[in-house]
Amino acid sequence: MAEQKVLEIDRSTYDHYNEDKFIYKTKPGLTKEIVEEISKQKQEPEWMLKKRLKAFEIWQKMPMPKWGPSLKDLDLNQITFFQKPDAKKNANKWEDVPEDIKKTFEKLGIPEAERKALAGAGSQYESEVVYHNLKKEWEDKGVVFLDCDEALKQYPELVKKYFMTSCVPVTLHKFSALHAAVWSGGTFIYVPPNVKVSMPLQAYFRMNAKKGGQFEHTLIIGDKGAQVEYIEGCSAPQYNVNSLHAGCVEIHVLEGARARYSSIENWSKNTYNLNTKRAIVQKNGVIEWINGNMGSKTTMLYPTSVLVGENAKSDFMGVAFAGKGQNQDTGTKVYHLAKNTASTIQSKSISKDGGITSYRGLLNIKKGAKNCKSHVQCDALMIDNISKSNTFPYMNVKEKDVDLGHEATVGKISDEQVFYLTSRGLSKEQASQMIVSGFIEPIVKALPLEYAVELNKLIEMEMEGSLG
């Protein structure tokens, strides 16, 4: 039944938008006064305000990225950086969410997914989390699942220790500094030692307003021997003006812990998706990244694993789709800083109608990090002759005693494949969709069923009319 519901997704599900209803919102653009006002609205401690203001100063001084996709059409003076919706914050019952907002999340299937398959769910609308709930069985085991604003109030010392300190420094790049200055909402997860959360936790982030910005912060801490799976979904309606998403994900995998982070980002095709995601992995820890990037006018996204402890491991699987007017610049980075660390990278991209996909990766192996193993595989599929696919694999290896492998393929849907399938009764469009589905199968298989079906359906919608 759940599968059938997901199969009925159409583009209007994501392009639906509500009339703007805000309790408070800042003026477009960003000033010191707006940063101070955001902190005041949230009633934050002094140390967080100081962190925001320092980040604002750094942001002002840092240049825009000169590499990768062009950001010349991103006018930050037109972006509204904080919008407080007319809704109860952190409602733990869906009936307490305002009707128009609730209907949006119902269209996206969030309440149903929570009832059937999740340990807890959170939903953010514009700049604030409007719903958050954790099943009691996990609460009783000491699991903490809050939005970051609430975590700052209830667990200030824990947030202060981990928030943009060792994992994602404020100074990493211009948009990490911007994020630190204006962040709002997001997710905070703490899993105690040796607690294994057997059901996924999920958060869904929705931008509704024109010329809006969303800057949610996700902070996950898996203590020694813990296990957690977290899923993020993202969407926004289509407008004819640009929006900005510059969230941040920080994952701390302590000794012997395991964390899996999955996301399907389906931002509208007027959105700049400039997200930052990083994990620090201690001894015997494991981080798994599963990323699907569908929407966005421009994406620059490179989930990063920093393997600081012996026997730490990172696995990355990602798929990016670029159609007309889209530039998907994605990939991953792995830093091997200790002995016997391992990583696997499997990246797939699809481009059509002049879309551009790029794999941009970095593999960095420190001298003394002996017996490291890594395998990188990049596969690109182009549907036509006007699309583009690029691969930029950078390897900085300062240790001889390592085992490295790299494979890259670029191909097109061949006439022979299409002919074979059409001779068995399929249309050309069905044939192309089947070939693409087979191409992304390894990533799809790694997702929970509902999300796998949704990703396949999104690909199908993007592929409609590909072979005319």
For residue range 168-188, list pLDDT tens digits in order.
Answer: 999 999 999 999 999 999 999
pLDDT of residue 296: 86
Nearest to 368 by CA among 395, 334, 341: 341
- Does residue 311 contact residue 341 with C-beta atoms inside 8 Å? yes
- Does residue 332 contact residue 377 with C-beta atoms inside 8 Å? no
Q: How far is it, in rounded angstroms, from Cα 349 to Cα 242?
A: 24
pTM: 0.88
pLDDT of residue 196: 97
Q: Which residue carries 């298989």 as its tokens?
A: 445
Nearest to 211 by CA among 299, 80, 86, 82: 80
**pLDDT in 10s for each residue of the chain, 468 residues:** 333 333 333 444 444 454 555 567 889 999 999 999 999 999 999 999 999 999 999 999 999 998 899 999 999 999 999 887 665 566 666 666 666 655 655 665 656 665 665 677 777 766 677 676 788 899 999 999 999 999 999 999 999 999 999 999 999 999 999 999 999 999 999 999 999 999 889 887 777 655 678 899 999 999 999 999 998 877 555 444 678 999 999 999 999 999 999 988 877 788 999 999 999 999 999 999 999 887 789 999 999 999 999 999 999 999 999 999 999 999 999 999 999 999 999 999 999 999 999 999 999 999 999 999 999 999 999 988 899 999 999 999 999 999 999 988 888 877 787 777 788 888 777 777 787 778 888 877 777 656 666 666 666 666 665 444
pLDDT of residue 445: 79
SS (H, E, C) 163-211: CCCCCCCCCCCHHHHHHHHHCCCEEEEEECCCCECCCCEEEEEECCCCC
Q: How far is it, in rounded angstroms, from Cα 50 to Cα 22?
A: 27
